Structure 1
Amino acid sequence: MPELPEMQGLAERLDEALSGATLTGVEALQFSAIKTVVPPADAAVGHAVSSVGRRGKYLLIDFVDGPRMIVHLSQGGRVDLEDTPKRTRPKGAVVRLRFDGGPDVLVKEFGTERKAAWWVLEPGDLGPLDGLGPEPFSEEFAELIRTGQDKRRIHTMLRDQRTVAGVGRGHTDDILHRAQLSPYATLASLSDEERERLLAAVHDIL
């Protein structure tokens, strides 16, 4: 599953490619993936992209005077930029966004789970972002690591998106290896020095 570093890189790539481009069409190619009904899937058509960003593992596409689109790639999702408009429907296609002034965007998903999802939200509606924990580079997260008394295994705690947004199994393994900590240890059991090692490892890996 793409985690924070991969999603950040994707968001930056899309922001560079799409900022200022106008959405001209939305092709829902896997209907179970769209998680909202109101606003409609094509509510952003005619609006220009103001920015593409990230929150946790979610991709955020904001439009000038329009709604926000959120995309979650789940385990096997990926995003392709199509400089030449295509009419084909590739295997695993989820949604195609067509733009004037930028490449088309195809979201597709490999595998059989079909868990990739996307939302169209009114400004101010958090949708799936509601309840996400702080970002790993935030002061709020640093304070949690330095003073928290969580009694769950650190490996479990770091993967809980309500505790910290954007970290998954793969990077959690790397973080604990870098910090030289057992995945079975709890945050509450760590010394001050171990907490600082953990925080430094989070920042280094991500």
Structure 2
Amino acid sequence: MPELPEVQALAERMTADCAGRALARLDVLSVQVLKTFDPPAHALHGQAVSGVGRYGKFLDLATADGLHLVLHLARAGWIRRRASFPDRPPARRPGHGPLALRLVLDDGSGFEVTEQGSTKRLAAYVVTDPRAVPGVARLGADPLGADFSRAALADLTSGVRKRLKTLLTDQTVLAGIGNAYSDEILHTARLSPYTLASALDEEQLGRLFDAVRQVLSTALERARSVAAADGLKAEKKAGMAVHGRAGERCPRCGDTVRSVNFADSSLQYCPTCQTGGRTLADRRLSRLLK
């Protein structure tokens, strides 16, 4: 799943690609992707693109006349730039193919939005205000935002009886952190994913804040350095210390990275670095992180 660093890098690349351009047309090829009907999708046609921003994991393509195309790539969505497209849009698909949307600019170039797999969660919204999108309206603090501080994190964790893994991935608390970077943040901070947020002392809170900033900032710089958007996924995976590396050696201490599996997700951690050498029970019950 694209998380904050990849989505931010995509937003910056798309802004550069759209500079001075208008959106000639939006081809909706998978009907269930478009979650709004007023304004209609064709209201974007001919609109000058003023830039592409980010809210958490949401992309926001804004037009000069005040319309917005907000995209959430979900778990398996992605965006690729194309140098050219056919003059006419292809026929709509029943929703089972990977191609979901085409954003065609007035010079013939543009972007393809795809989603792999059978579970379709990619979402697009045409709105006059991004805050009209329910997911955007509920977002918490941006962990790379100027107003996110150690004191702000202390407020977010004070008295909160949530495990750190759950807290970090709760979009209403911190916007943009997903399964992968939460594992990396906790490994960098040397904290167990099962530690309660309310139990953090001042030193642990400081380590967590520093890890959030360090992991996301480093990942964003790596994402920005990739020549083409298609390489962002591989670069993300290559930069991971523990996430997706169960059975491999921890790069910090050499212990074996372990995994805890749940119904539809998993987490990875290092016992030596994070849990005092204790191996967490591998139970496929997602309620353990609630």
Q: TM over 0.5, yes or no? A: yes
Over aligned residue pairs, what C-alpha RMSD do you find?
Answer: 1.7
Is residue 28–residue 95 contact of structure 1 (8 Å, CA) maintained in 2? yes
Residue pairs, 1:26-41, within 5 angstroms: 26-41=26-41
Greater mean deviation of Cα atoms: 177-186 or 117-126: 117-126
Distance, in Å, in 1 between the alignment partners of 2:107 and 2:207 is: 46
- Which of 119, 122, 125 is matched with 2:125 structurally? 119
Query: Is 1:130 aligned to residue 137 of structure 2?
Result: yes
Query: Is 1:14 aligned to residue 14 of structure 2?
Result: yes
How far apart are 1:125 and its partner, in Å? 4.5
The alignment's TM-score, normalised by the length of structure 1, stands at: 0.94
Residue pairs, 1:1-206, within 5 angstroms: 1-86=1-86, 91-101=97-107, 103-123=109-129, 125-127=131-133, 128-138=135-145, 139-140=147-148, 142-147=150-155, 148-206=158-216
Which 4+ runs in 1 deviate beyond 4 A?
87-90
Greater mean deviation of Cα atoms: 162-171 or 141-150: 141-150
> What is the total number of aligned residue pairs between the two structures?
206
The superposition leaves residues 59-113 of structure 1 with CA deviations (integer Å, 9 ceiling, x where unpaired) of 1100001310100111111111110214667941111111114621110101110
Residue identity (%): 34
The alignment's TM-score, normalised by the length of structure 2, stands at: 0.67
2:189 is matched by which residue type in structure 1?
A: A
The structure that has the greater radius of gyration is 2
Is residue 132–residue 164 contact of structure 1 (8 Å, CA) maintained in 2? yes
Is residue 145–residue 187 contact of structure 1 (8 Å, CA) maintained in 2? no
Distance, in Å, in 2 between the alignment partners of 1:70 and 1:141 is: 27
Q: Which runs of 5+ in 2 are unaligned?
A: 217-290
How far apart are 1:137 and its partner, in Å? 2.3
Q: Which runs of 5+ in 1 are unaligned?
A: none
1:82 is matched by which residue type in structure 2?
A: R
How far apart are 1:140 and its partner, in Å? 4.4
